[in-house]
Amino acid sequence: MTDKLLVGLAATVTIGIGSAHALPSSQYVPAGRIPCHYGLPPEALYKLPPQRLFAAVRVYLDEHGKVKDAVLEKSSGDSAFDSLAVRQSRQAICKPFFDVGGNPVQVETNFTFAVESAELRPDPSSESFAAQVERRIRANVVWDGETGHLQTTISVRCSTDGKLLSAKIVRSSGNPAWDVAALKAVQRSDPMPTDIYGRTPKYFKVTVQPGPA
């Protein structure tokens, strides 16, 4: 399991500082505005060094949303993690981005990958934990507004028995009303599920988006 649950899944990494070869006439668009699925495979957590890691990758998408290039922009300091981040970025699945005229265009964006230090990481063998958290939070979402492209990332702190100690928004969707609904859904999900060992990770992040439960 990654340390970022995407009521869905997601986490990110990067290697070395480099400049990518931009696609012709590409414009930069924040990753939050482009529907993309990417992240670290759960089994990768076994092989990572114990320190906290963060990397960023510059990604170039064509007008169909296909990744044409991915280059490490900010290194984590660990070459294996950086390489993994770039590789996972190249495997991202994205939808096309449309300009103001409604035309699909090629763009560039940044994917970020991060994992906590080893003692704070969720147990990687608990692959079902993310699905359990997703189901619980979705069941507590109360929302009748728009559903397109809204994603709110919330940092969660729990006791080992699942009791919710705190929840705060760390990345807004840009829609304040949805942000509040997402935060309340997480708060209503107390206690959180436990993993296969009967424990809940002390810290993790969830990215909540509206949609069917």
203 pLDDT higher than 70 = yes
Q: How large is the average pLDDT for residues 201-208?
A: 90
Q: How large is the average pLDDT for residues 96-112?
A: 93
18 pLDDT higher than 60 = no
Q: How large is the average pLDDT for residues 153-162?
A: 92
Dihedral sign from CA coordinates of 24, 64, 30, 148? positive
At residue 69, the pLDDT reads 94
169 pLDDT higher than 90 = yes
20 pLDDT higher than 50 = no
| Cβ–Cβ under 8 Å, residues 177 and 145 | yes
Rounded Cα distance between 178 and 192, Å, is 21
| Domains in the chain: ranges and CATH | 4-118 (3.30.1150), 129-208 (3.30.1150.10)
185 pLDDT higher than 70 = yes
164 pLDDT higher than 90 = yes
* pLDDT above 90: percentage of residues in the chain: 46
Joined together, the tokens standing for residue 209 give: 């988006």
Rounded Cα distance between 29 and 80, Å, is 27
Q: Kindly provide the residue ranges of all beta strands, DSSP E only, lying in 90-196, ordered along the sequence.
A: 93-94, 97-98, 104-105, 107-115, 152-158, 164-171
pTM: 0.50
Rounded Cα distance between 186 and 204, Å, is 12
At residue 175, the pLDDT reads 92
Task: State the pairing for strand pair 27-28/107-115.
Answer: parallel
pLDDT (tens digit per residue) in 27-46: 999 888 888 878 887 667 76
pLDDT (tens digit per residue) in 141-152: 888 887 778 899
Average pLDDT of the chain is 81
Rounded Cα distance between 125 and 186, Å, is 23
The residue among 29, 37, 12 whose CA lies nearest residue 209 is: 37
pLDDT (tens digit per residue) in 55-100: 999 999 999 999 999 999 999 999 989 999 999 999 988 889 999 9
120: pLDDT confidence band, cut at 50, 70 and 90?
A: low
| Cβ–Cβ under 8 Å, residues 92 and 36 | yes
